[in-house]
Amino acid sequence: MFSRERKTPIAEWWWTIDKSLLAALILLLLVGVLLSFAASPPVAERLGLGPWHFIIRQAIFAALALPVMIATSFLPRRPARLLALAVLVGSTILLWLTLVLGVEVKGATRWVSIAGNTVQPSEFVKPAYAVIGAWLFAESMKRPGVPARSIAFLLMLVIVAGLLLQPDIGQTALVLATWGALLFLSGISWVVIFGLGATAVGLLFAAYAFFPHFAKRIDTFLNPEGGGNTYQVDKALGSLLEGGWFGRGPGESMANKIIPDAHADYVFSAAAGEFGILFCLCLVALIGFIVIKALIGAQQQQSLFARLAASTLAIQFGLQCSINLAVNLSLMPPKGMTLPFVSYGGTSMLAIAFGMGLMLALTRKKPEERLASGLPVYRSGVLSPAE
Amino acid sequence: MAILSEVAETISLDGGRKSRGNLTKARIRWVIVALVLVFGTVGGRLIQLGATVTDSTIEGVARDVITASRPPILDRNGLEMAVDIRVPSLFAEPRRIVDVEEAVQKLRTVLPDLNEDWLRNRLTGDKGFVWVKRELTPAIQERIYQLGIPGLEFVTESKRFYPSGKEASHILGAVNIDNQGTMGIEKHMDDDSLAVLQSIGIARDTDLTPVSLSVDLRVQHVMYEQLQDALVRYKAVAAAGVMMDVKTGEIVALASLPDFDPNNPSTLFQDYNGVKNDRFNRITSGIYELGSTFKTVTLAGALDSGKVRITDEFDARFAVRFGRFTIDDFHGKHRVLSVPEVFKYSSNIGTIKIMQELGKDEFRDFLTKIGMDRTVPFELPEMRKPKVPDKFSEIVAATSSFGHGLSVSPLHMVRAVAAFVNDGYMVPPTMYKRDEAEARQLYEPVISPSTSAEIRYLLRLNAIGAGGSGSRMNKIANGYRVGGKTGTAEKVVNGRYASNVNFNVFASAFPLDKPRYAMVIIVDEPKAENEQTGVTAGWNAGEVTGRIVQRVAPMLGIAPDFGEMLDQNLVPVELR
């Protein structure tokens, strides 16, 4: 099946995919299932569900996410772009629909119910926007006449407006960061970068001024003893400290039984209590490997679109991970950000699988780079340049 | 948006690909550098947290100490006498409590016995940790969780539980709320080694090797029950008993009433019938004038010296005078008495004469030899030093010979009786299991085996002979070859001996043909059971002894034997 003799799609996929990246992603998915054993039973019991509730669902979602990721990674560039476009259009519409039809959970309207399942459209918007945004930026770099950047900017505004109305500061920040990453990668001058950086700071202050729950979190972070609600953070840190280097062993941690969101945002801390800080360091290394490997893979792409899209997806993934880790380690004020593939959440897992699938698809080594002639293949005219 | 076209303007179509490629590649490199820094920071933070030494103390007490485990305590047959159970304890973090008033009101719906002002005071302030109530039940814990008050939390503690309740309270002692032994064998274990274990963190959340005591819970139960019965039956103010294996020194049962509930140690300090601090261990920390039981000691010393022989006779016709004091016999025979008769009729005059034959200084030396003037080396920490004058005057020696003018604990007496019947080998008593071979290493000869045989005969004689003070006991425990000596000491009331207020003792051993157990029973201030009965020791302490032996002897594998031959074999050759 994987023979090089006949050029079957599977063989081609197998010889061009970044196998270490794929393996690392699958490993992360499995770690997520493993950690759900540690983190989720106390939460499930608190919610009056069976202890296996979240574990079973996490396993099912992981089982669904894997084929989604692999199937997406099969896509050549053009179909990948088309799919991303379809997903972007669909999820943006759903995103705005949530404001009308959505279900309110914990003070925010982020979910819509489709055929009995609640879906969080904002999760799918992120990777789709990264790909389409990359395409638009690539087009504008190649053909300056086309107002592609402006389109990307407008698209971002549409999405961000919808997210802010939910409100969902975390996802807003990620989409903004995605746009910022595209600007940066597409070669914006450093002057503007610092200008935009200043704007970002300004936006943070604006958020502080206009969103009370955001302001409260910042206050509490800056002054933990000030009487604010630092319950989650305290418990998360408690779990980390309790575990020490080697952890207390599976099922032995006491602290993770009282972390409120142990299965979602705070899964990392909960894991630390049971498996120890060394394990957590390995997990961070795994995530870091995925991000760096994907970025290197993106760098080697000849196609500008693929390079931009793959690196943007990697940056998005890396940012989400680092924000979650920073919150877990009290390096940052709490922010509703899940740890990709590890935290519980069906939509988010499938969306990340979709995004990672696209990333894998776009970091595949193209056959032209495999020729040993030394000449770029597109010069020979055998293959049309992908750009 | 001039900057957006800036790049595009400077490139030609052909070189554009290359420059765009170089540009984006360089930018990706920057991103890689930034992300490496971010993940490096995360890793560094993890290492910092890993290196953090957590402050694990709770209100200044190490958390390990609070959750410290104690080994289970078993009786000699493996029955559980003390075990650890895990219980939740409620604490508060006042600085996290949002609404103190709400917290107080809600909490009091579950724990109504908490004082409102105390609780409000407790929950107000900026502290990070205060106990609210410790050692609760899981049901209460659940109800407090349901209240959903922020800043209230639980920590799991070990709580000591004593399944047998009050039955062995003075043996086991008690622990404080931090699970540290405060009295009894619990304290001894701590002083011994457990404290060391706990301090180095071994005795934490782990199963410790159980500690086996010498106590036989069945015997303990019987003794406890009979002493309680004695309190009611004789309207006594106190009763206590101790039973010891004469071969090994193991304490098989030890009870003292009034007592306390080790599951609720504060009961120790409750008044008993209006008397404060009356719930102490009378066997180890009570010292008494043990009255005529001491005649056994005097005779053992005299017979062993060889200066008095079992066949000797003493003139007990006239009371003995010391200056203005006159000592007479209680229901005296006022005739010449043989040594066994002196013992049987409990003649004060005869005993004084026997002691004088021995010599008062020799008598004092004998008391030192059998350890009557020192605290008994024993595991229980509640010990009191006996009061024995360093040097005997004539009159003190005389009163001491029949157990007045010196105070020792019942534990002293049981050890002495055990030695007298055990071929003269004294063995230190212990609360822990000990086998005979081990005990032999500790044997200390105090009288000769032949004197021991004579004492066995005298003790048995007192139970079977007509008029012996142990006959009432023997009727109840017939067949178990018990022998013993009564002691009816008049208590000092307002500075003088009161003839109607007694402290009664019965010191016994059984089965005397093959001695195994020694026992001392005390009954404090007994009243006559009915009009036909008396108040001397034979009527109460003696009968209690009989009832205990009658019930425990079969458990201890002693079969009843009514053969006269056994008793006749006890008679010394000289008297046959």
Q: Considering the domain boundaries, does residue A387 fall inside one?
A: no
Global pTM reads 0.60
Q: Note the pLDDT of residue A104.
A: 64
> What is the mean predicted confidence (pLDDT) over B26-39?
89
Q: What is the pLDDT of residues B1-32, one digit of tens each?
A: 333 443 444 444 556 677 777 888 888 888 89
Task: Give the pLDDT of residue B12.
Answer: 44
What are the C-alpha distances in Å from B123 to residues A4, B98, B305? 74, 10, 73
Percent of residues, chain A, with pLDDT higher than 70: 79
Q: Residues A78-98: what's their mean pLDDT?
A: 88
**pLDDT mean over B335-358:** 91
Please indicate whether residue B95 or residue B76 has the higher confidence score (pLDDT): B76
Q: Quick check: A144 and B8 CB within 8 A? A: yes
Q: Catalytic pick from B292, B400, B409, B508?
A: B292
What pLDDT is stored for residue B194 in this prediction? 57
Angle formed by the axes of helices B360-369 and B294-305, nearest 10° = 110
Lowest-pLDDT range, A108-112, A123-127, A298-302, B551-555?
A108-112
Whether the pLDDT of residue A293 is over 50: the answer is: yes
Count of alpha carbons within 13 angstroms of residue A301, beta-carbon side: 28
Confidence class for position A232, pLDDT limits 50, 70, 90: low
Contact of B95 with chain A, judged by CB distance below 8 Å, is answered with yes
Please state the rounded mean pLDDT for residues B525-537.
86
Residue A4 lies in a domain: no
Yes or no, beta carbons of A284 and B46 under 8 Å apart? yes
Instruction: Spell out which residues of chain A touch residue B30, defining contact as CB-CB under 8 Å.
Output: 184
Per residue in B47-58, pLDDT (tens digit) is 888 777 655 555
pLDDT reported for residue A292: 92
According to the model, what pLDDT value does residue A228 have?
52
Structure-token match 């597109």, residue found: A378
What number of CA atoms fall less than 13 Å from residue A224's CA on the CB side?
12
In a domain, A214, yes or no: yes
CA distance A37 to A52: 8
Domains in chain B, please, with CATH?
Answer: 61-212 (3.90.1310.10), 219-469+503-575 (3.40.710.10)
Residue A166 belongs to what domain range? 9-363
Compute the radius of gyration of chain B from its Cα atoms: 36
Q: Which residue has the higher pLDDT, A162 or A238?
A: A162
Residue A156 maps to a domain = yes
Model confidence pLDDT, tens digit, residues B198-251: 554 444 445 577 888 999 999 999 999 999 999 999 999 999 999 999 999 999
**Yes or no, beta carbons of A295 and B45 under 8 Å apart:** no
Query: How far is B97 from chain A, CA to nearest CA, in Å?
Result: 8
Q: How does the average pLDDT of chain B come out, rounded?
A: 86
- Do residue B43 and residue A285 have CB atoms under 8 angstroms apart? yes
Q: Is B96 on the interface with A (CB under 8 A)?
A: yes
**Cis previous bond, B88, omega within 30:** no
Q: How far apart are CA B358 and CA B397, in angstroms?
A: 11
Contacts B156 to A, Cβ<8 Å: 254
Nearest-by-Cβ selection for A281 from B8, B46, B150: B46
The angle, 0 to 180 degrees and rounded to 10, between the axes of the packed helices A169-185 and A121-142 is: 20
Give pLDDT, residue A112.
Answer: 63
Candidates B27, B32, B42; nearest CB to A184: B27
- The residue-averaged pLDDT of A350-374 equals 76
> Is A370 a domain residue?
no
Of A149, A184, A240, Cβ closest to residue B4 = A149
| Percent of chain B topping pLDDT 90 | 46
The domain total for chain A is 1
Distance CA B543, CA B528 (A): 12
Q: What percent of chain B has pLDDT over 70?
A: 91
Q: Are B216 and B553 in contact (CB under 8 A)?
A: no
Residue in this structure with the two tokens 């696209």, named with its chain if needed: A358
CB contacts under 8 A, B 2-61 vs A, are 3-9, 16-17, 20-21, 23-25, 27-32, 35-36, 38-39, 41-43, 45-47, 49-50, 52, 54
Shortest distance between the Cα of B412 and any Cα of chain A, in A, equals 51
Nearest residue to B510 (alpha-carbon basis) of B576, B574, B556, B443: B556
Beta carbons of B20 and A142 less than 8 Å apart: yes
- How distant is the Cα of B220 from the closest Cα of chain A, in angstroms? 41
Instruction: Give the lowest-confidence range in A147-151, B1-5, B104-108.
Output: B1-5
Distance from CA of A56 to the nearest CA of B (A): 27
Which has the minimum average pLDDT: A364-368, B435-439, B476-480?
Answer: A364-368
Q: Is residue A338 part of a domain?
A: yes
- The answer on pLDDT for B323 being more than 50 is yes
How far apart (Å, rounded) are the C-alpha atoms in residues B76 and B243?
14
**Measured distance CA(B534)–CA(B526) in Å, rounded:** 10
Which residues of chain A neighbour B17 with C-beta distances below 8 Å? 304, 387
Whether the predicted pLDDT of A376 surpasses 70: no
Whether B292 is catalytic is yes
Distance CA B271, CA B103 (A): 36
Between helix A231-243 and helix A267-299 the angle, nearest 10°, is: 80
Who has greater pLDDT, A372 or B527? Answer: B527
A288 CB neighbours in chain B (<8 A) are: 35-36, 39
Mean pLDDT of chain A: 79
Average pLDDT over residues B526-555: 90
All residues of chain B having their beta carbon less than 8 Å from the beta carbon of residue A231 are 96, 150
Q: Are A292 and B33 in contact (CB under 8 A)?
A: no
Q: Looking at the partner chain, which of B23, B41, B95 has a beta carbon nearest the beta carbon of A187?
A: B23
- Which region among A242-256, A369-383, B291-305, B488-502 has the lowest average model confidence (pLDDT)? A369-383
